[in-house]
Amino acid sequence: MDIKPLSEVELNNTEASRGSSPSEPSPLVRDDEVFIRMTPIERLQHITLILCFVLLVLTGLPLLLDPAMWLKKLFFFETSFAWRGWIHRIAGVGLISLSVFHLFYISCTQRGRDLFWALMPKLKDVTDALESFGHNLGVTRWMYEKGILTQFFDRHPYWLFRQPPQYGRFNFIEKFEYIAVWWGNVVMIASGFFLWATNLSFRLFPLWVYDIFKIIHSYEAILAFLAIIIWHLYNVHLTPDVFPMSRVWLDGTITGHDLRTHHPLEYEAILEARRQAARTTRDTEAQRSGAQINGDQTLDRKSGG
C-alpha cells in the first residue's frame, strides 16, 4: 500500500481549485485505507481484453498499411500471412468468448449488475462532460475577463465553469469508454464474422455489402485503436495525478485518498454510510451507557457539496 507523505496530503487538501471535493480526510475513511475497485475476476477480464485487443491490432494493422519494405520484412516466411490471419481469428474468438463471459457476469452476479447500472450514463454525465470541457478549456472565463457577454455571465455564472464537476464511482469518461467497448465489440464481431466466412457472405450478399463490412471493420478498428492509445491511456494512466501508470488494473485497489480526490461523490456515499453506522452504534451505546463519544464534532461536519 502506497501511503502518501503527509505534506502532499496537506497540499492536496488545501488546494482551492479542486473545488468542493472533500478537502480533509475524515477519521471514518482514512487516506491510507484500501478499497477494492476491481475484483480479481474483473481484472482478469480486463487483462484478457488487453491481450486480445493488442493481438487483433497487431495482426490487423498490416492490412490497413501500405506493404512497404520494412513491413513486408516481418512476413519473411511463406505462410506468415496465413499465420497473421489465424492469430487474428484466434484473438477474435478470445474476444467473443470474453464478451459472452462478461454478459454472464453483468447479468448473473450481483456485483456485475451493480457495476453495469453504475456504468450506465445519466443526465449528470452529459452535464459533467460539458462542465469538464468548459472548465478545462476556460473559454468562457477568458471571454468574461475580456469583457465579452459579461451581463450574460453575471446572470448565469454556471457558464463560467469555475469548478470542475464532481464524479461518483464512474465519471463520464469511464462510462463513455465502457459503452464504446460495447459498441466496438458488437460492430467488430458482426463485421468480422462475415469477413471470416468469406464464401458464406458471398453467397448471402452482393459483393458491395461485403466491401462495406470490410470498410466498417477497418475504420472501426482505427477508431478503437486511437481511442485506446489517446483517450484511455491519457485519462487512466498518463494524466499528471497518476503518471506514469495507475496500478488499479494490476492490484485492483484504490486508496481512501484517491477516492476522495478522484471520486468525491463515491467517497461521500461511503462516508455517509459509515456516519449512519457510527450514529446507530453511538445511539445504541448512548442508550446503554449514556456516555459521549469523542470526535462528535468532526463527524458531523459536512465537507463541501
Closest CB to other proteins among residues 49, 223: 223
CA-only gyration radius of the chain, Å:
25
Q: What's the angle, vertex CA 56, arms to CA 51 and CA 58, rounded to 5?
A: 95
Tell me: does residue 227 bind other proteins (CB under 8 A).
yes
Within 19-48, the residues that bind other proteins by CB under 8 A are none
- Assign residue 109 a region: left if phi > 0, alpha if psi is -120 to 50, beta otherwise? beta
| Cα 48 to Cα 59: distance, rounded to the nearest angstrom | 16
Tell me: does residue 145 bind other proteins (CB under 8 A).
no
Closest CB to other proteins among residues 15, 251: 15
Tell me: does residue 135 bind other proteins (CB under 8 A).
yes
Of these, 222, 245, 286, 293, which contacts other proteins (CB under 8 A)? 222
Of these, 27, 67, 295, 304, which contacts other proteins (CB under 8 A)? 67
Tell me: does residue 82 bind other proteins (CB under 8 A).
yes
CB under 8 Å, gap of 24 or more: what pairs does 172-175 form? Answer: 172/121, 172/125, 172/126, 172/128, 172/129, 172/132, 173/231, 173/235, 174/119, 174/235, 175/119, 175/120, 175/121, 175/125
Tell me: does residue 207 bind other proteins (CB under 8 A).
yes
Residues at the site binding other proteins, with contacts judged by CB under 8 A: 11, 15, 17-18, 62-63, 67, 72, 75, 78, 80-82, 84, 132-133, 135-138, 164, 198-199, 202-203, 206-208, 211-212, 214-216, 219-220, 222-223, 226-227, 230-231, 234, 239-241
